[in-house]
Amino acid sequence: MTVQLNHTIVAAHDKQASARFLADILGLEVGPQYGPFIPVEIPNGVTLDFMEAPGDITPQHYAFLVSEDDFDTIFGRIEKRGLTHWADPFHRQRGEINHHDGGRGTYFDDPNGHNLEILTRPYGSGG
C-alpha cells in the first residue's frame, strides 16, 4: 500500500498574504486560486491550500525538512525580515537555533500564528 500526504488546508485571515508569506520565506511559488484556496506546492508534491477563516484561528504546526544550504538561505530570509525565531516549539529559546540529531532547526510564526519550523535532519535520525 502506498500512502502519501497530498494536501492540507491552512486557515488564514488573508489567504493571499499568508500564502505569499510562506512562499517568499521558503523560496516557492504561489499557485493560482483554485476554488476558495490559494495553493503553495512544496517540492515533494504536498500542497498547502490557504483558505480564509473567520474569527479566531487555532494555530497549527507545519515543519519543513530542508537541506543545509536551503536552511542558510531560508534562515537569511527570516533574519532579513526581522522575524522572531526560537530553537524550540514552546518559544522559550528566543533568537536561537537547535542542533537536534546533528542538524539545525528553528521555529517562527506566520501572520496567523501558525508555528512554522525548518529543520535539516528528521527527528530521531541520529547524530
User: pLDDT tens track of the chain, all 127 residues?
Assistant: 799 999 999 999 999 999 999 999 999 999 999 999 999 999 999 999 999 999 999 999 999 999 999 999 999 999 999 999 999 999 999 999 999 999 999 999 999 999 999 999 998 887 6
Which H or E run includes 71?
A: helix 68-80
Q: Tell me which residue of 16, 65, 71, 59 sits closest to 44, measured CA to CA.
A: 65
Q: Tell me which residue of 36, 65, 62, 63 sits closest to 50, measured CA to CA.
A: 36
Instruction: Report the predicted TM-score, pTM, of the whole model to 2 decimal places.
Output: 0.94
Q: How many C-beta atoms surround the C-beta of residue 116 within 10 A?
A: 21
Report the DSSP beta bridge partners of residue 65. Answer: 119
Which H or E run includes 79?
A: helix 68-80
